[in-house]
Amino acid sequence: MDLLTIGAFARASRLSPKALRLYDELGLLRPAQVDPVSGYRFYAPAQLERARLVAWLRRLGMPLARIHMVCDAEPGQAAEDLRAYWAQIVAENVVRQDLAAFLADYLSGKATVMSDERTALGIRYAARSDRGLVRERNEDCAYAGPRLLAVADGLGSNGGGDRASAVAIDALKPLEDEAHPGDLLAALGRAIRQAAAELRTIVESEPSVEGLGTTLTALLWSGSQLALAHIGDSRAYVLRDGELFRLTKDHTYVQSLIDEGRISAEQAASHPDLLCTDGLSAVATADRIQSAVTGPLDPAQTVEQLVELANASGGQDNVACVVADIVAL
């Protein structure tokens, strides 16, 4: 059987050569043959069916890890997986639709409150991190101060994880003391780039530390503006009218400004914020988290309760959470 070059196979499957190389590296679609001298990849025509399936699933927006699962499953199971994936997308879109409506209300509300007498706003906050019941170390880190709220979930061998999350949060702490007229996001971005540079230095100078990295979800507050930076699968939520909205999408890097206008005390009082690592969000349902955050407890009691919630579900992972209520001063 004649093998196809990667270019010919790419055209036939409507995947780019770059994508094909990535899928090879991931083990999703291995070439039939690789030239030992040139490294060129060759594909069998029979592989086109799998390649087209991958292309279709990509067009559907399915993540590669999940495509891998679907491609390797028995046909019945694959169909089941696909239906489950789509049901999840539909459910997430309902949540996003609600969030979009909420943000539209929120942003259009700012026009009407501009003429109001200025109300000073502050935040009441608490942060808590816990090792959980199983892990030997706590690689999560949480911080809350008058302007900055952040959680980080570190990873890395030989204590690298603890350090990675601490480095990320420490790099952000100076933001507490600086004035950031107008550009909170830029200030957050600079601090995050500095954290990344410090982590690179550790990786380069200490070979014993492997796989160093950290998630980071941080909110910077100026009294009238909130900026959010998010990397990885920790999460930020906002509670509004008793309902918990998730502001972050896992595994993505989102730079979004929640609100560019003034927040009225009335609006703000109904908007407690929650940040947490997957030690909580992976084990507790949104309902359980929502009822913990909605209750009459103050932020310190709430974070306590959230940690208990994570540990009551087995405490398999470290957990970090930050709760902040925006209040009129």
Q: Which residues are at the interface with Mn ion (CB under 5 A)?
A: 153, 277-279, 317
- By C-beta, is 153 or 304 nearer to Mn ion? 153
Report the residue number, 164 or 184, with the smaller CB distance to Mn ion. 164
Residue 145 or 279 having the CB closest to Mn ion: 279
In this structure, the strands spanning 235-240 and 243-246 are antiparallel
Least Å distance, CB 247 to Mn ion, is: 19
Q: Which is nearer to Mn ion, 29 or 306 (CB)?
A: 306
CB of 26 to Mn ion, least distance (A): 23
Residue closer to Mn ion by CB (options 19, 319) is 319
CB of 85 to Mn ion, least distance (A): 23
- Minimum gap (Å) between residue 319 Cβ and Mn ion: 8
Query: Residue 314 CB, nearest distance to Mn ion (Å)?
Result: 13
Q: How far is the CB of 69 from Mn ion (least distance, A)?
A: 22
Residue closer to Mn ion, measured from CB, 139 or 304: 139
- Cβ 272 to Mn ion shortest distance, Å: 23
Three-class secondary structure assignment of the chain: CCCEEHHHHHHHHCCCHHHHHHHHHCCCCCCCEECCCCCCEEECHHHHHHHHHHHHHHHCCCCHHHHHHHHHCCHHHHHHHHHHHHHHHHHHHHHHHHHHHHHHHHHHHHHHHCCCCCCCEEEEEEEEEECCCCCCCCCEEEEECCCEEEEEEEECCCCHHHHHHHHHHHHHHHHHCCCCCCCHHHHHHHHHHHHHHHHHHHHHHCCCCCCCEECEEEEEECCCCEEEEEECCCEEEEEECCEEEECCCCCCCEEEEEECCCCCHHHHHCCCEEEECHHHHCCCCHHHHHHHHHCCCCHHHHHHHHHHHHHHCCCCCCEEEEEEEEEEC
| Nearer to Mn ion among residue 47 and residue 129 (C-beta) | 129
Which residue, 194 or 316, is less far from Mn ion as judged by CB? 316
Q: How far is the CB of 317 from Mn ion (least distance, A)?
A: 4
Cα separations (Å) of 200 from 160, 188, 230? Answer: 12, 18, 19
